[in-house]
A and B are shown apart, each in its own frame.
Chain A
């Protein structure tokens, strides 16, 4: 568990003072994969670095498993750091050493004996899938393999916490997926709490269970990932969500509104954690005297739960459309009618009853 209590960090650059962290209050529970997202300069790295004291907070506290590390002696602190693994955007591996020697380094530093080192290195290299690369040099590896070495090195001391600073930002999308899958295994198989910072919402979507959004040294929004994706409150959060879940309604749908007659209505159905799509749509078509046409759809998955929206056109009499509308809402699907908009804005009138959020 990691607790930030009024954590503040100031940097002095010449005469100016930069408040990189401004009274952060945040708790990361044991077992979380906690994401922190924000634009460049928001203070994400600084936040992460206060956990293992690469940066010391100017005021406030950071508690790691209940301990304030600034209160420890140098020796105790070194011991405690073995409990906190860290991986980096640019891997920060030693080019002068082999994969084996890189991974072994934390144990070498603490004076472990050779046979113990060999056994543990073998174990973590197998876990990250690099058992056959032990005697390669770092420059002979791909970016994804380098990050695997980084992860192996971080795991060798059997930490309970793993800090990831933009761990996939230097990797291509394919490799990013495989590294994220590996981090997920780190969390599920070893029960390691992961705190990861990123500027990519895909990363949050793919593996985090909670997320905090940072701006100007502050946490502007924090919640579980489903809540953030389904009901982002702050503009910055909305922007990040939009970067992966394209929630806006395509222009072609609005164009359809222009040619609409009394027998048609267009709705935006939002699915969160309910059976998506076909069953509801086909049931509506069967139960009521309406035709359902799917105009546009975007469904993704959040922690194994389908999430997204469908834009449908209901064709039928006004009363049948109303019945269908109520039926769909009774299935806990958030539904809004798409109405013609003025100017370029894509606001739409809301007719919402409730929607279910799981998680």
Chain B
């Protein structure tokens, strides 16, 4: 049996929905955790051993759980949060928990790349810790942060393919149910092409913005 174009379009929209919503929440979570991981570390502007030694292992733990397991393991939590454990919206909860810590590590790396001299200059000017983060660290790391978010977005597209396991829908789900289980090679091909195109578009948007920000020709 042939998959209708409508199904593919709906799946694409589901994917875009899951990716964008979980990206927004994941990025918020990731930025907060990433900044906390940087500024509370030893010798940094808000050094705090307790907070760092809590956040750091939590992020590591979430990062080490394979997404497909996380998806299933947190079903009770998902139900508590969004009232259901199946469907596109329900898939967003594990996607956020998956991508948030991942983004936090990328953000952490980007912020650590900022020259220490910048922080030194900021302190010499009498900047508060909040101002150092907001006016110095984030703007200086911005191009690199854009690349981090781009990488995370592409990771999310991969993860949404598994959302089918909780009835999340999306392109990956269509490829598995119609293509893999029903030997529909055309569907596999179409969804794969769509995913590739999607990834390419996102990557080149990210690269373009980053290059603009870095002002390289």
Q: Which residues of A contact B (CB under 8 A)?
A: 52, 54, 74, 77-82, 84, 86, 88, 90-97, 105-106, 108-110, 137, 139, 153, 157, 163
The answer to whether A95 and B140 touch (CB under 8 A), given A82-B126, A137-B215, is yes
B42 close to A (CB within 8 Å): no
User: A86 touching B126 by the CB < 8 A rule?
Assistant: no
Nearest residue in A to B128 (C-beta to C-beta)? A78
Partner of A139, one of B118, B124, B215: B215
Q: 7 new A-B pairs (CB below 8 Å) besides A82-B126, A88-B120, A109-B131? A: A54-B123, A79-B126, A81-B125, A84-B124, A92-B117, A105-B125, A139-B215
Q: Once bound together, how far apart are the Cα atoms of A88 and B125, in whole Å?
A: 13
Nearest residue in B to A156 (C-beta to C-beta)? B125
Q: Range of interface residues on chain B?
A: 20 to 34
Most buried by A among B121, B142, B215: B121
Q: Which residues of B contact A (CB under 8 A)?
A: 115, 117-118, 120-121, 123-128, 131, 135-136, 139-140, 142-143, 213, 215
A residues less than 8 Å from B143 (CB atoms) = 96
16 residue pairs of the A-B complex, CB under 8 angstroms, read A54-B120, A74-B128, A78-B126, A78-B128, A81-B125, A84-B124, A86-B124, A88-B120, A91-B117, A94-B118, A96-B140, A105-B125, A106-B126, A108-B135, A109-B125, A139-B215
Q: Once bound together, how far apart are the Cα atoms of A97 and B117, in whole Å?
A: 16
User: A88 touching B121 by the CB < 8 A rule?
Assistant: yes
Q: Once bound together, how far apart are the Cα atoms of A74 and B130, in whole Å?
A: 13
Q: Once bound together, how far apart are the Cα atoms of A311 and B20, in whole Å?
A: 82
Number of A-B contacts (CB under 8 A): 58
The answer to whether A94 and B215 touch (CB under 8 A), given A81-B125, A109-B125, is no
Q: Which 8 residue pairs are nearest across A and B when measured between Cβ atoms? A: A81-B126, A78-B126, A92-B117, A92-B121, A86-B124, A96-B139, A106-B125, A109-B127
B residues less than 8 Å from A81 (CB atoms) = 124-126
User: B126 touching A109 by the CB < 8 A rule?
Assistant: yes
Chain A, interface SS category: mixed
User: A105 touching B123 by the CB < 8 A rule?
Assistant: no
B residues less than 8 Å from A54 (CB atoms) = 120, 123-124
Q: Once bound together, how far apart are the Cα atoms of A81 and B126, in whole Å?
A: 6
The answer to whether A96 and B142 touch (CB under 8 A), given A105-B135, A108-B135, A139-B215, is yes
Closest CB of chain A to B113's CB: distance in Å? 12
B residues less than 8 Å from A139 (CB atoms) = 215
Q: Once bound together, how far apart are the Cα atoms of A266 and B47, in whole Å?
A: 67
The answer to whether A96 and B125 touch (CB under 8 A), given A54-B120, A88-B117, A108-B135, is no
The answer to whether A90 and B117 touch (CB under 8 A), given A78-B128, A139-B215, is yes
Q: Once bound together, how far apart are the Cα atoms of A165 and B115, in whole Å?
A: 16
B residues less than 8 Å from A109 (CB atoms) = 125-127, 131, 135
B residues less than 8 Å from A80 (CB atoms) = 126
Most buried by A among B125, B131, B140: B125
The answer to whether A97 and B139 touch (CB under 8 A), given A92-B115, A92-B117, A92-B118, is yes
Closest CB of chain A to B66's CB: distance in Å? 37
A residues less than 8 Å from B115 (CB atoms) = 90, 92
Q: Once bound together, how far apart are the Cα atoms of A106 and B126, in whole Å?
A: 8
B residues less than 8 Å from A91 (CB atoms) = 117
User: A96 touching B213 by the CB < 8 A rule?
Assistant: yes
Q: Once bound together, how far apart are the Cα atoms of A54 and B90, in whole Å?
A: 49
Q: Once bound together, how far apart are the Cα atoms of A80 and B140, in whole Å?
A: 26
Closest CB of chain A to B181's CB: distance in Å? 50
